[in-house]
Structure 1
């Protein structure tokens, strides 16, 4: 679904080794029917040929704050106010610092100060610079101001070192922009999503857990929030950052997952994506258990979050579960759908596609009437497909405030 069509994006290219990738970004934006204006900073012009940008755009780029020709046609105030969003890609550490400090020493920084539109940055820099505490603080400060951060990826950098710092892949930038511009169809609805693994303590230093990364749950929470739902994400330990428009609650054990889920009822949508352990120890040792001590562990069934929510007096309008199966997927999921009392279950065969660590998922969609097999796709696209089904559910039940048919 292309939500970028006819959007006006002001692209700011700053001076770094990744500046040339902005040419590909312009092509992809044009493919999505985006109207583009482009500012090149003076440092960017040292890395790329201005003529290449102007040839691709079919128009002049902007760089000089005091250019009379450009001032007459489109000054920094007009540039700031005639776009739907400002995208800085790549964004250097230096430009990050300027943004945080409110500098206004060139055209790009003046435009940013004058603009009240969405601001999106795609940082790119050396790994050591990206991990620098000052840079991290600047990123946190920009997030607090509502800036969308398209975090760099890991890989081999131009300097020869390996690590995080590469400009996000252009295709992924387009996907992120698409989510940012998604219509707020779910406005007025509240969603709770659980994600990540549970961590069940045995003693002060040991625990039972699983391989869940939380990736799928975070993508679903992000998608719901981008479509306008007030979204609460209850997450076990992960290495993923929640989006700025998602309320994050960190938990560890299954009991904590259930407690926080119940505390945040009522809601309209509940999606249990978290891989919560079926078992926990009956008693947690207060001291580290020594290996010389012969000890049998007594396990008890953990709290069933999905079932508790499904049979609660404040049951949400739509309750969705996830099921990771290693065998007999159809049989086990049908039984689970009935036992848990939820409306839908999305099941996957974890042994076949290594679903926990993979960036993709192969889903079987179950409700009380049918089973649909979805093609293998990226977890982000699973989230989008599920969101579209949720929108259809609420639309068919006349529970949406948003009238336009944009999906």
Structure 2
């Protein structure tokens, strides 16, 4: 809940500005007060009257309001909030924030504040992917600005891809995390989830039965404890939870690249069921069935994502957790895997036929650490996730 929290909401000029109306309503439902600021461009998409009516406060639009400026009103606005939220955050606003420009009330507030800032980007896919925007994003993140979204989807311009502003409930979750006092507040955690798919030809692939349910539950539990979660997911059947930065991948090599790009992090949890091998030479066209002849498939070993991160020198996450899906000698194999990979913990589970672990709602796990094994009772995957997230918070000093 956000009872008593004060949110300064800066509405940028973009078609996604209409979502700010629902965002304000959701925030006030949770007990937050919302002080709205609108850019001139935002007024082309949503009226100040609508924003003010939902916020229950006047909309601030002008930098030079003599009555308020007698008391340096723009400075006061920037200091009394618990969080500054920019939604939508346009490419123009991102560029001005990066450059340190203060050309209107919104950018002056952003320059004058020492309050945490959360941005919800919204722009055309090509603008989001432009090198200048990528540089601006990297610099703002380095400056401590938090981001939620953007999501993939259809654009108002007719294109498809990343650039849609995160949905209001997703932004609310990010706000709750940003202003919350959870034990993992301020911690960045990478979670991998789901299966990977290794292509054989354009229509066939090698994969496994992982649904992504356990990884998704864990990501949700970590968000609930205040963590910033980068969710690197293969093509699982369970949709990603709200409030995480979703990085979709298909192959093991793509997953490794995504994990390395998400570093640095305080912790990394490798819950994905990654294919150990891939076809060395992927056929460029569909392999045809020939009577009496079987195709010869030659395999190559996939990168070991867990070992790669666990054995890093500088930049290694403080806590590296692997998963071991076993069909026999579950604990013994997990202990050997932990020693071999050099990770901190292994979460081992039995996925043999009849357990219902793959694709099911329950799990039985064993937590293997350097000197101990904890045998947890059978419980739902959500309960496993909540308990594991709490253990991680304790290990990280939360």
Q: TM-score, normalised by structure 2?
A: 0.64
Cross-structure match for 2:122: 124
What SS does structure 1 have at the residue aligned with 2:18?
A: helix
Correspondence 1:76-225 to 2 at 5 A: 76-186=74-184, 210=207, 220=218, 224=222
Number of aligned residue pairs: 348
Give me the whole-angstrom Cα distance separating, in 1, the residues matched to 2:49 and 2:97.
27
Contact 1:193 1:272 (C-alpha < 8 Å) held by counterparts? yes
Cα distance per residue 1:126-182 (max 9 Å; x no partner): 333333332233223222222222222233333344443322111121122233334
Cross-structure match for 1:321: 323
Correspondence 1:3-402 to 2 at 5 A: 4-71=2-69, 75-186=73-184, 210=207, 220=218, 224=222, 227=225, 252=253, 271-278=269-276, 321=323, 323=325, 336=330, 339-341=333-335, 345=349, 363-367=361-365, 368-374=375-381, 388-390=386-388, 392-393=390-391, 401-402=397-398
Give me the whole-angstrom Cα distance separating, in 1, the residues matched to 2:379 and 2:387.
12
What SS does structure 2 have at the residue aligned with 1:171?
A: helix
Give me the whole-angstrom Cα distance separating, in 2, the residues matched to 1:279 and 1:100.
43
RMSD (CA atoms): 5.5
Contact 2:327 2:352 (C-alpha < 8 Å) held by counterparts? no
Cross-structure match for 1:312: none
Change over 3 Å in CA distance of 1:94–1:77 after alignment to 2: same
What SS does structure 2 have at the residue aligned with 1:180?
A: helix
Give me the whole-angstrom Cα distance separating, in 2, the residues matched to 1:120 and 1:335.
47
Contact 2:125 2:163 (C-alpha < 8 Å) held by counterparts? yes
Give me the whole-angstrom Cα distance separating, in 1, the residues matched to 2:133 and 2:319.
43
1:224, CA displacement in angstroms?
4.5
Cα distance per residue 1:175-229 (max 9 Å; x no partner): 2223333435258999886657679999xxxxx8647898975885696588578
Contact 2:222 2:389 (C-alpha < 8 Å) held by counterparts? no
Give me the whole-angstrom Cα distance separating, in 2, the residues matched to 1:74 and 1:179.
30
Contact 1:191 1:231 (C-alpha < 8 Å) held by counterparts? yes
Contact 1:152 1:164 (C-alpha < 8 Å) held by counterparts? yes
Give me the whole-angstrom Cα distance separating, in 2, the residues matched to 1:68 and 1:220.
51
When structure 1 is superposed on structure 2, of 157-166 and 60-69 the one drifting more is: 157-166
What SS does structure 2 have at the residue aligned with 1:37?
A: strand
Cross-structure match for 2:369: none
Contact 1:234 1:251 (C-alpha < 8 Å) held by counterparts? no
Change over 3 Å in CA distance of 1:252–1:353 after alignment to 2: same
1:16, CA displacement in angstroms?
1.7
1:372, CA displacement in angstroms?
1.8
Change over 3 Å in CA distance of 1:369–1:41 after alignment to 2: closer
What SS does structure 2 have at the residue aligned with 1:176?
A: helix
Q: Structure 2: any 5+ residue segments left out of the alignment? A: 246-250, 261-265, 282-286, 288-293, 308-317, 336-345, 366-374
Give me the whole-angstrom Cα distance separating, in 2, the residues matched to 1:137 and 1:339.
44
Q: TM-score, normalised by structure 1?
A: 0.63
Contact 2:13 2:41 (C-alpha < 8 Å) held by counterparts? yes
